[in-house]
Structure 1
Amino acid sequence: MTELITVVTAVHAPSAVHLADAYASLLGQEMPDGWDWQWVIQEDGETGDVAPYVPDDSRISFGQGRRGRAAMARTVGLSRADGRFVKVLDADDMLAPGALARDLQALTDDPSLGWATCRVLDYLPDGSTVGFDEDPPQGPIERGTVLRYWQEHDYRAQVHPATLCVRRELLLALGGWMALPASEDTGLLMALSAVSRGWFSADTGLLYRKWPGQVTSQPSHADEAERQARFAVVEARALALASLGGWRFGGV
């Protein structure tokens, strides 16, 4: 029997054109024996502008729903997730070769790990890439480490939340992605750090596309009042979870 890893993608009309590149990166994944991927694509909205870009593949499940931004779309998409593990992939990003296999190896080799993440490269409009020079070393990330780094570095994460792969039951226990207008994946990462150990792979696992239409490039994303509010609730939630002494994934 084939086991599944579910890749969840929220998409809206402006980013739909990039689904072809995301799909090509999925097709390029060499999966471990006995494993395959399922791609859950959830439109943030109910337009006719996204469906034409959804590839014809039996492993793909496409859904639509009321607009609520990426957090809502991804969480609604979980209703169709059949995998033991859930990998997030933004519609405009691409997986690097071997990304899914490395996630699966880390999480199946060590049941105490709740999540995995990896090195990311910004993918610029001219096709060049830029890396991050403060990645942690490859290996386990102890509970609370990412949260403390984030708090001590002006709320900038040590690892990229867009690369997360999470055990499905842990993702559901935490309520999916935070209901925020942005930084919903950072909210999930900090909650995961508060309750479980993770893994960092030093191999590049994601190409993070930089382009004018991406949500994080919009002026509203940089609004300081909203940023402070987003991160205040992200931090409060993570600290509340950390204070619940009996709530630990994997007993570590």
Structure 2
Amino acid sequence: MTRRIIVVTAVHGPSAPFLPEAFASLCAQELPDGWDWRWLIQQDGTSDDVAPHVPADERVSFRQGRRGGPGVARTIALARADGEYVKILDADDQLAPGALARDLAALEADPSIGWATSRALDLLPDGTTTGFPGDPEPGAVERGAVLDHWAAHDYRAQVHPATLFVRRELLLALGGWMALPASEDTGLLLALNAVARGWFCAEVGLLYRKWEGQATGQSAHTDAAERDARMAVVEARARALDHFQWRWPVGSA
């Protein structure tokens, strides 16, 4: 029986032209025998400018819906998720070779690990890449470690939420992505870290595209008042989950 990884992508008109490159990076992934992947692309909106860029492949499922931001698009896509694991791939990013297999190996080897992340490189407009300083040591990420680092470093986590690989049941138990205009992926990452041990792979798993149209580059994303409000609710959720001691797996210390 074939087991499955579900790759979830939120997309809107400006990022749609990058879908073929994301797809090529997905097709280049090699998985162990008995595993395959399905790609769920969910448009945030119902315009006609995304569909022409969606690859024609039976492994790709494309849907549209009313606008609510990338977190809403990803969460509604989970209605079509029929695999054991969910991998995030933003429409403008690319997976590095071997990323899926490494994520899968980490979680298959240890049932106490609920999620995995990996090293990311910025993909610059000229095609060059640059790394992030401060990657953690490879291996297990203990509960609370991401939140502690994030709170002490101006709301910057030491692992990148765009590289997330997670058990589907755990993702659903936490309600998917947060209902925020941005930082919804950081909110999910901190919630996961509050309830479950994670994993960090020091090998590059993602090329994170930097371009003028990306949402994190817009002025609204850096508005101080909104940013403080987003981060306050992100932190409050993670600390509440820790306070109530909900754990993955159930019954773990």
- Residue 249 in structure 1 maps to residue 248 in structure 2: yes
Q: Deviation of residue 125 (structure 1)?
A: 0.2
Mapping of 1:41-60 within 5 angstroms?
A: 41-60=41-60
Partner of 2:220: 220
Q: Report the counterpart of residue 193 of structure 1 in structure 2.
A: 193
Letter in 1 for 2:247: R
Q: Could you list the per-position Cα deviations for residues 56-100 of structure 1 after superposition, in whole angstroms to 9, with x for gaps in the alignment?
A: 111111000000010100000000011100001000000000000
Which residue number in structure 2 is paired with residue 14 of structure 1?
14
Partner AA of 2:173 in structure 1: A
Q: Does 1:90 align with 2:90?
A: yes
SS of 1:39's equivalent in the other structure is strand
- CA distance in structure 1 between the aligned counterparts of 2:83 and 2:210, rounded to whole angstroms: 29
Which segments of 5 or more consecutive residues in structure 1 lack a partner in the other structure?
A: none
Deviation at 1:6, TM superposition (A): 0.3
CA RMSD in angstroms comes to 0.6
Aligned length: 251
**Deviation for aligned residue 1:132:** 1.0
Q: CA-to-partner distance for each residue in 1:37-67, whole Å, 9 max, x for gaps?
A: 1100000001111111100111111000000
Residue 240 of structure 1 corresponds to which residue in structure 2?
240
CA distance in 1, matches of 2:91, 2:82: 20
Residue identity (%): 69
What's the offset of the Cα at 1:229?
0.3
Residue in structure 2 matched with residue 139 of structure 1 by the alignment: 139
TM-score w.r.t. length of structure 2 = 0.98
> Which ranges of 4 or more aligned residues in structure 1 deviate by more than 3 Å?
none
> Match of 2:182, SS?
coil
Which amino acid in the other structure matches residue 52 of structure 1?
P
- Provide the TM-score with structure 1 as the length reference: 0.99
Residue identity in the other structure for 2:185: D
Shift of 1:114: 0.5
1:19-168 equivalent positions in 2, closer than 5 A: 19-168=19-168
Q: CA deviation at 1:212?
A: 0.3
The DSSP-based 3-state class of the residue aligned with 1:225 is helix
Q: CA deviation at 1:20?
A: 0.4
Q: Distance in 1 between matches of 2:97 and 2:36?
A: 15
SS at match of 2:29: coil
